[in-house]
Amino acid sequence: MAKIIGNLVPADDFTHPLGPELNFNESMYFNFHDPLRQVGGFVRLGNRANERRAEMTVTLYLPDGRVYFMFKRPEITHNDAFDAGGLKFEVLEPTQRLRTHYRGSMLEMARPREMADPKRAFTENPLRRVEIDLEHDAVGPIYGHSQDESEQNRDAENQFARAHYEQHMRIRGRIEIEGTPAIEIDGLGLRDHSWGPRHWQAIEGYEWLTMNFGADLGLMVSVIRRGDDQTRRGGVMIRAGHLEPLVEATVEIDWEEGTPFHRALCVHARTAAGESLEITGRVLGFIPLRNRRGGTTTTIGEGLTEWRLGEQVGYGLSELLRTEPAG
């Protein structure tokens, strides 16, 4: 069983009682990258049982720049499991080992930036049958919280992640794409689990960066912005199984000219022990996603990213969220 850091218990790896809030969300997310085959991706299920629907996202990045993508809002009536729209998560050993499985259609996108206009992208790109079957095994502790007081004190409409934890993982498994040879996956990644009220529009923006430089070194950097100049900066370094908090973090972003799409990043961070870190990132694959509510649009740029920390090379996801005010 993996070590737990924070006010969490092994049972938190399963779903929780459904809260009374209309926007109660319980979600799990897993990302992965195989450095030998240069194939990566992420899967997410968010149960919104009080709205009688789930949010299901599956994304695969191939080394030639193609992205396979699918998003659905399948109907659900309970919060007893993560199983909707062809995507299923299983806890094989709490805190240590989980399985993700997807079987269904995905868009094959040679020009994934077309997803900035989802209706057009779903109309003009072909569908392929895809099966993903992966096991995720812990290479570090679980870190997070089961109750964030700063979130709990907000009304449900303005909450984002009352309960949340993350963990760096080793991933092995298989991906089968219609018409192509099966891809064996052996890589690294990160998973997270959140529950409580959530609207994507509750915050102004964030940079959420996940990095794996090997089974013994992983980082997560987070910069979250709300109104009234409220910004939370930090993250963690997991080194040889030991967690070192990041107490400062700034992210410089290189945008593709004339677009809201990021292509490179530079991170400056400092650990609680005083160690300074400079990490550069180069986006290898990118897809823009969005969420709309009440006239407000939230865009989420998802970049499969190559990271460099000194002489070390690693991989992960750079997820940048921006909310545009209504009107």
b/e burial code for range 121-134 (CB count within 10 A of at least 16 → b): beeebeeeebebeb
Q: Can you tell me the distance from the alpha carbon of 121 to that of 113, in angstroms, rounded to the nearest whole number?
A: 9
pLDDT in tens, 84-140: 999 999 999 999 999 999 999 999 999 999 999 999 999 999 999 999 999 999 999
Please tell me the predicted confidence (pLDDT) of residue 119: 95
**What is the arithmetic mean of pLDDT over 222-245?**
89
Q: How many domains does the chain have?
A: 1
**How far apart are the C-alpha atoms of 222 and 234, rounded to whole Å?**
5
pLDDT of residue 269: 98
pLDDT greater at residue 6 or residue 47: 47
149 pLDDT tier (thresholds 50, 70, 90): low
Q: How confident is the model at residue 315 (pLDDT cuts 50, 70, 90)?
A: very high
Q: Is 269 helix (H, G, I), strand (E, B) or coil?
A: strand
Arithmetic mean of pLDDT over the chain? 93
* Average pLDDT of the residues in 29-56: 98
Q: What is the pLDDT of residue 160?
A: 61
E strand or H helix at 251, and its extent? strand 242-255
Neighbouring C-beta atoms of residue 51, cutoff 10 Å: 15
Q: Which residues pair with 72 in a beta bridge?
A: 56
More confident residue, 6 or 54: 54
pLDDT category of residue 290 using cuts at 50, 70 and 90: confident
Report pLDDT for 230: 82
What's the CA gap between 319 and 193, in Å, rounded? 16
Give 29-64 as a DSSP string. Answer: EEEEEETTTTEEEEEEEEEEGGGTEEEEEEEEE-TT
- Which is nearest to 317 in space by CA: 179, 198, 190? 190
> Which SS3 state, helix, strand or coil, does residue 182 take?
coil
- What integer is the mean pLDDT of 189-198? 94
The pLDDT, as a whole number, for residue 307 is 98
pLDDT band with cut points at 50, 70 and 90 for residue 7: very high
**Confidence (pLDDT) at 175:** 98
Does pLDDT of 47 surpass 90?
A: yes
Predicted local distance difference test score (pLDDT) of residue 159: 53
Q: Which domain holds residue 62?
A: 4-324
| CATH number (domain holding residue 53) | 2.40.370.10
Confidence check: pLDDT of 70 > 90: yes
